Amino acid sequence: MPRPSRESYGDQKPPYSYISLTAMAIWSSPERMLPLSEIYRFITDRFPYYRRNTQRWQNSLRHNLSFNDCFVKVPRRPDRPGKGAYWTLHPQAFDMFENGSLLRRRKRFKLLKGDKDNLNAELAALASFNRAFLARQASAPPPPPAIPSASLYTPPLGPQLSPEPAELPEAATITMLPRERPRRDFTIKSLLEPDSPRLSPSPPHPVLMPIPRLEASYVAAAQRYHAELLAAAHALRPCYLTPPPPLPVA
């Protein structure tokens, strides 16, 4: 049988599901979140197979992003304009592939209705907060002092949605780690915080504002992330043996 060249699997379909591929892409990024276009790029860079029929598989990929609760769409920060949102992994979904197969998960990750509603409410609030921030910025070019940068991602929520303290102690120096939280906690704050690790030294975007530290539960969950995913993503250096086609249009 023809040996796959260097983990790229040549023109063969790689033995990963779209969910695995997407998780790899996301996880290989310094901040553990990527816009759609960069997920595409991660995949086409490493797997020549996906340089063709882009319409097909990209449609499937998008379907997976929307359909699966394991992927969470995080609104862009106002200081990072661009197209589309960022996609990240739900921390509770880190062990999705615990059975070791990157083709088929033991069980699909599904958020409980309540958790999903809470998350959606929080994300929606964040999105509208961002819109307001941009609107204000547009009308008043000098940076609005009314909005402290450190609380950028702590939009005010209705009391029923935000069990957080009304005044937010996590100012520029924030360490909101030690607060005891239920294990299923998953907030936009934790999502938007970059990770410490040593994977990639150069962040794709300049860091324009103080970034809070990681939440402890997030780190813990991250460290439990399936080893094969990490290993796979790590081993898969981009293969530029043949330069990617300039335009993947069919």
The single residue listed with the structure tokens 């299923």 is 184
Helices 36-46 and 18-28 pack at an angle, to 10 degrees, of: 100
Residue 60 makes CB contacts below 8 A (sequence gap 6+) with 18
Q: Which of 73, 179, 181, 213 touches DNA (CB under 7 A)? A: 73
Range in contact with DNA (rule: CB under 7 A) among 2-10, 53-61, 170-178, 236-244: 53-61
- Determine, following the binding rule CB under 7 A, whether residue 226 of this chain makes contact with DNA: no
Compute the least distance from the CB of residue 120 to DNA, in Å.
9
* CB atoms near residue 13 (< 10 Å): 10
State the amino acid at position 55 in one-letter form: Q
- Determine, following the binding rule CB under 7 A, whether residue 60 of this chain makes contact with DNA: yes
Q: Which of 9, 18, 186, 225 touches DNA (CB under 7 A)? A: 18
Compute the least distance from the CB of residue 217 to DNA, in Å.
24
Q: Which is nearer to DNA, 85 or 150 (CB)?
A: 85
d(CA 210, CA 208): 7
- Determine, following the binding rule CB under 7 A, whether residue 101 of this chain makes contact with DNA: yes
d(CA 152, CA 146): 11
Residues that bind DNA (CB under 7 A): 17-19, 35-37, 40, 55-57, 59-60, 62-67, 73, 83-85, 87, 101, 103-108
